[in-house]
Structure 1
């Protein structure tokens, strides 16, 4: 007769629960996999399948009663780790959307916005377009698989254990968040320079020929020039985005090492 005691049940439950919490936290915040259009049940089921698959390969879990305060604190730590690693890649796409906001402002398309379910706010059409382009490139480069592989490797660098997370890890996340403005501006810079030059020329024209309605002439010129530049520049931005994705994967690894106290 097979007998199972409470300690064995705790061991089986913990072997599944702690990895599941970290994986689900990443799926809730990561780009593409954490999109609001994906049902919550699908995310939970996907996280459960991954947790069941990797649980036998992980180090032994802490011997904690699942209903104790120590286990609750350990669960909170796993949530924070998963959210932080998901935010690293979310910042990459936030930078792409910021570039779209900058370009749309110079083209005169900043007023064209609609509600974005993924962000829960109004988003410029051009920012949404560039975000979709980055998502397609991310999918084509198997970025979602590399991101999940980085999460699974984090269990080796940052194993599930009783203790506290190193505060230097949050410094890595805050430092990486500056890429929203830096990389967003770099991505939009070629178009911004040309469009600012056109606006400067129109301003000079308005001073020299005041009878000319610059507002009636300038908007079509800025819009047409911006569309031509987008058709020229966006196909060449794949190399920039590919390097940006690679930096995101490296930052995920640095974040896990820093949270573990390794640098």
Structure 2
């Protein structure tokens, strides 16, 4: 009988809007959009999180028509898309840097299936992406999103999200930063390998019998791996800084509406 008393139109509307908020987050959030996580598991997690967080939702009057409810639900999914895009910019910078490193080392053809994106990617980019994902999980970035959701019910009530100009401005800035950060991460490897290409070219000019494919190519790959091992700490440090910056804007998106 108590369950039927809870099952009012107002509570059902709040529950569905909260369900859509979590659905948008799990659909576009890094790590949760992994291809290895099946849709059934994602749906179960969304439903479980909705039940877990529903008691935190403040009592409000959701007097919405069907069209207004559909618009409010669409904005909740858009919220998850915006949060996922903000964080994906950081991971895209890592992927872009890894692609540049692979291209410089001549390993663009050495691609394998990436279980995270479901596409073929160079091995170097995959290794750096997996390392960045482990670092992100060690920073509890997934827990941080849940904390922000629990704090956002008062500042960003269900169905009230509106896209602001600040988000567009941040996306433009983050896209430029993604290219700059990715290139900066790959620049040491690219610079040293460019210097090695010049040296190999000079050797071939003075010694035409020098077999570049048999000797120079393995040396080039070895140099690339050596430089990568030396700079991987710096790459992860820049990734952490960009992740903190992205979470700062996500916090603004959730708590400053």
Matched with 1:137 is: 135
Matched with 1:10 is: 9
Matched with 1:174 is: 172
Matched ranges for 1:243-254 at <5 A: 243-254=241-252
CA separation of 1:32 and 1:106: change in aligned 2, threshold 3 A: same
Q: Which deviates more, 247-256 or 96-105?
A: 247-256
| Preserved CA contact (<8 Å) 1:173 1:255 | no
Matched with 1:220 is: 218
Q: Which deviates more, 121-130 or 202-211?
A: 202-211
| Preserved CA contact (<8 Å) 1:64 1:70 | no
Q: Tell me by how many angstroms 1:96 deviates.
A: 1.0
Matched ranges for 1:61-100 at <5 A: 61-65=60-64, 68-100=66-98
CA separation of 1:151 and 1:210: change in aligned 2, threshold 3 A: farther
Q: Which deviates more, 71-80 or 119-128?
A: 119-128
CA-to-partner distance for each residue in 1:48-92, whole Å, 9 max, x for gaps?
Answer: 222223223233445235x70110011000000111101211221
**Count of equivalent residues:** 257
| Preserved CA contact (<8 Å) 2:111 2:121 | yes
Q: Secondary structure at the match of 1:123?
A: strand
Matched with 1:201 is: 199
Matched ranges for 1:100-115 at <5 A: 100-115=98-113
Distance 1:2 1:138 in 2: 42
Distance 2:175 2:54 in 1: 32
Which consecutive residues of structure 1, in runs of 5 or more, have no partner in the other structure? none
CA separation of 1:186 and 1:151: change in aligned 2, threshold 3 A: farther
Q: Tell me by how many angstroms 1:109 deviates.
A: 0.7
CA separation of 1:3 and 1:18: change in aligned 2, threshold 3 A: closer
| Preserved CA contact (<8 Å) 1:62 1:162 | no
Distance 2:174 2:189 in 1: 24
Q: Tell me by how many angstroms 1:184 deviates.
A: 1.2
Distance 2:90 2:161 in 1: 30
TM-score norm. by structure 1 comes to 0.86
Matched with 2:41 is: 42
Q: Tell me by how many angstroms 1:163 deviates.
A: 7.6
Distance 1:3 1:126 in 2: 54
Q: Tell me by how many angstroms 1:158 deviates.
A: 2.7
Flag as ranges the 4+ runs of structure 1 deviating above 6 A.
none
TM-score norm. by structure 2 comes to 0.88
Matched ranges for 1:19-58 at <5 A: 19-58=18-57
Distance 1:148 1:186 in 2: 32
Q: Tell me by how many angstroms 1:143 deviates.
A: 2.0
Q: Tell me by how many angstroms 1:8 deviates.
A: 5.8
Q: Secondary structure at the match of 1:165?
A: coil
Q: Tell me by how many angstroms 1:125 deviates.
A: 0.9
RMSD of aligned C-alpha atoms?
2.6
Q: Tell me by how many angstroms 1:164 deviates.
A: 4.5
